[in-house]
Amino acid sequence: QVQLVESGGGLVQAGGSLRLSCAASGRSFSSYNMGWFRQAPGKEREFVAAISWNGGNTYYADSVKGRFTVSRDNAKNTVSLQMNSLKSEDTAVYYCAATSRIYAIAVTQYDYWGQGTQVTVSS
């Protein structure tokens, strides 16, 4: 089992940047593939980005491709999401999640979730 805690959210102007972090505790963090999801008010939780257990593979939603970068540091048990060129439509609660499944981009494919961190982009 793994416990996840996100941080780094906040209020930023459109065009700005934020870096989210997710700290993991528990066993075998390095064996999990990690994902970032977001949920805006009144909308379903959606996939943002994912990274494989060794960082060798990354996946992005089309809406964030070229603007967001996911990375991980297995020595520090952390996964990060660098968000650049933020838009108002990026406003949401952002969640990190862990899974043992490969190529996982669906909410139902993830087993462990953090509590989320709010990102608000003002236009």
DSSP letter at 87 equals -
pLDDT in tens, 89-109: 999 999 999 999 999 999 999
Q: What is the mean pLDDT of residues 31-54?
A: 97
pLDDT at 27 over 80: no
| Distance, CA of 99 to CA of 32 (rounded, Å) | 6
Predicted local confidence at residue 1, as pLDDT: 85
| Distance, CA of 81 to CA of 64 (rounded, Å) | 11
Share of the chain above pLDDT 90, in %: 95
- Tell me the average pLDDT of the chain: 96
pLDDT at 25 over 90: yes
| Distance, CA of 43 to CA of 73 (rounded, Å) | 31
Predicted local confidence at residue 20, as pLDDT: 98
Length of the chain: 123
Predicted local confidence at residue 26, as pLDDT: 81
| Distance, CA of 6 to CA of 96 (rounded, Å) | 7
How many other CB atoms are found less than 10 A from the CB of residue 123? 9
Q: What is the mean pLDDT of residues 80-89?
A: 98
Q: Return the higher-pLDDT residue of 71 and 123.
A: 71
